Amino acid sequence: MSVSLLMAGCGGEQMPTVVLPEIDTTNPLLAQWETPHQTPPFDLIKVEHYKPAFETAIAVSRAEIDAIVNNPAKPTFANTILALENQGALLDRIGGVFFNINEADTSDELQQIAIDIQPELTALGNDISLNPELFKRVKYVYEHPGLFLSKEDKKLLEDTYNDFVRGGANLSDEDKELYRQYTGELSGLTLKFGQNSLAATNAFSYNITKAELVEELPSFVKEGLAMEAKARNQKGWTVTLKAPSYGPFMTYSSQRDIKEKLWKAYNSRALGGPNDNSENIRQITALRLKIANLLGYECYADYVLDNRMAQTTSTVLSFLEELRAATIEYAAKDVAEITAYAHTLGLEGELMPWDFGYYSEKYKNEKYAVSDEMVKPYLKLDNVIDAVFMLANRLYGLTFTPAQDITTYHKDVTAYEVKDNNGEHLAVLYLDFFPRESKRSGAWMTEFRGTSVENGKEVRPLVSLVMNFTKPTETTPSLLTFDELTTFLHEFGHSLHGMLAKGKYESLNGTSVLRDFVELPSQIMENWAYEKEYLDLWAKHYQTGETMPVEIIEKIVAAKNYLAAYMNIRQLSFGLTDMAWHTLKEPYTGCVEAFEKASMESTKVVPAIEGTAMATAFGHIFSGGYAAGYYGYKWAEVLAADGYSLFQQNGIFDSKTAAGFRKLLSSGGQVHPMDLYVEFRGHKPQTQALIDQMGLKK
């Protein structure tokens, strides 16, 4: 049956009746969620529910858009801008579930649904952004905003208008059709890129059956490899290309021949073979260039950066070069130091990339007498979870309680109810820690639902943190490496951005900020991992209960800037190759490997290896949202280095400083990020803050 809805505006203004298509409320994705905090009923949702739910929600969204366009009343903020913000709520709800599950617990069936539905979603987006009558109403309100809009309303109006312009609303009819074509092709290619990367990662493993080849490995590494082999019905020990397997083996094994195979496999994922992404990269960058040209930009980076803190391509290139020039000499010294050390241990010839992790870890142990194996017993995952929650409590008064009545999408996932310092419900937080075949690599924060106000009632967010940490074994609980601890803090910083959001409009809340600002909350959180005052409160040996000795903490702090210049140059190389791909002014038809090597030449401090390229698995820029934006990690590092110095100055748990930073987090995208930052810190950030933090003072 059809259902009629009356969409309410503000100030009593009424929207026209929206006649919705038939809705099958037996589909749990389309039904009302009578669950705690309206969380997704994962126990009821099945694969077969997604496609019909998407089809219904797309039809509902089209009906809502038609109602806005056909409204006979004069365009106003309420009946046009606010109505646009609120339309598509059902589609957002379904997409919020589907696309997050497709990343964290995918299957062949889910991937096929993504392939099938993506063109329809792209078409809908284009039908909205390229609708001349709809844009006419938006433009009218933009030019006649009225006298009674709040700052938040004005920001929504400005963003809505700019989104239409950036989405092709001012194009000619002929160019609009080209825009539709290009964006449709692009959405399919980026989706395929991600699927190829995951398939290539899962396709490779290396089984070891000789005990002497793993004898030197720490017990936690051996146990993990043995569990992997057992899961695959193999004998011995199996190494995969997933981080908790690949990383420790490369760090602790002296078996150069095996490590060479692993390194080359990891660094040639989706480069050739059945999952090759080379042609996808050429087509993706060509289509992005065509879209940028249609919209009046010389290259895709110009288009992207027009809506970033950095604003221009030249600013980003100058920023990257400033950091490169200031640190390349130190990075070369880092490599020379590791090479010289390796030679003292019998390495002959050049230090190769697959040698670096092993010798740098041994040198770190010798120089600072600290290693992952030494630190891990004090970083039991359960304790780390409590410690991260405790930090949020000390800074912001938040409490976290396991929510047994909230269903999750996988048995390894735990849901928590988050309450504010006044006892009010703030958010639901899902934690998903361990790797599996159905989960992509890496770590990320996402939301099933953001923050908004609907019919005068605040809707609080459903936030998810997804990681790939070391699994517990049959004899040992999950013990984190120090890098995994900082990763947890990093992603938790993103979650705070979501959980502390306060505002009327979901599109302006939480992590909905300019891309080169979004990493500030995450990167600033990492700093607490190095603070003795914080570690003393919780870092205890999982067997003895002994507090982490001061000697280990001092070694961790002393080792903080170990290879800082090398790691900085490595990150810059990724930012530079990203910019190279997206400052192309002509489509690239050549070799992806050759392009990458040329783009990274100025940052080369270790040998380049033929037959490898990271681009074909560089999901951040080819299937994620970081195209012409990877520099943002370094940009945000500058903000974080400068910003954290205020906590260091006032106290790492200082309530006044934390309150100032909470205001920055809660504001989301409602205020320009530079204004938010200056209000918090008192001045604009400077690159030298990061260089100083790395210990590279002149």
**Adjacent-strand bridge partners of 427:** 418
Spatial distance between the Cα atoms of 6 and 429, rounded to a whole number of angstroms: 33
What torsion, rounded to 10 degrees, do the Cα atoms 239, 240, 244, 247 define?
80
Q: Identify whether the C-beta of residue 519 lies closer than 8 Å to the C-beta of residue 490.
A: no
Let me know: does 443 contact 487? Beta carbons within 8 Å. yes
- Contact by Cβ (8 Å): 330, 565: yes
What are the tokens at 480? 């984190």
- Please state, in angstroms and rounded to a whole number, the distance separating the CA atoms of residues 458 and 464: 19
Element of type H or E holding 447: strand 444-449
Overall residue count recorded for the chain in this entry: 698
- What token pair was written down for 190? 């980026």
Its sign, for the CA torsion 369, 373, 377, 381, is positive
449 forms bridges with which residues in the sheet? 462
Q: How many CB atoms lie within 10 A of CB 233?
A: 6
Q: Which residues pair with 206 in a beta bridge?
A: 239
* Alpha-helical regions (H) of 376-452: 381-396
Q: Cα–Cα distance between 191 and 198 in angstroms, integer?
A: 11
Q: Phi/psi at 211 (nearest 5 deg)? A: -60, -35
Rounded to the nearest angstrom, the gap between the alpha carbon of residue 274 and the centroid of all alpha carbons in its chain is 27
Which has the closest alpha carbon to 242: 442, 80, 444? 442
Asked whether 251 and 372 are in contact (CB, 8 A), the reply is yes
Handedness of CA 486, 491, 496, 502 (dihedral sign): positive
491 is catalytic: yes
Asked whether the beta carbons of 595 and 588 are under 8 A apart, the reply is yes
Q: How many CA atoms does the CB half-sphere of 180 hold within 13 Å?
A: 18
DSSP at 509: S
Rounded Cα distance between 540 and 223, Å, is 22
Do β-strands 237-240 and 399-402 pair in parallel, antiparallel, or remain unpaired? unpaired
Identity of the amino acid at 407: T
CA–CA distance, 507 with 504 (Å, rounded to integer) = 9
**DSSP symbol at 540:** B
Are 289 and 654 within 8 A, CB to CB? no
Whole-angstrom Cα distance, residue 468 to residue 458? 33
Q: Cβ atoms within 10 A of the Cβ of 463, count?
A: 30
Distance of CA 552 to the CA centre of its chain: 31
Identify the burial level of 607 via C-beta atoms within 10 angstroms of its C-beta, where 0-12 means exposed, 13-18 middle and 19 or more buried: exposed
Task: Give all strands (DSSP E) within 160-319, no chain letters.
Answer: 205-208, 237-240
Residue 310 has φ and ψ, to the nearest 5°, of: -65, -35
Q: Which residue out of 64, 228, 417, 491 is catalytically annotated?
A: 491
SS3 (DSSP) at 567: helix
Q: How large is the greatest C-alpha to C-alpha distance in the chain, in angstroms? A: 82
Residues marked active site are found at 491
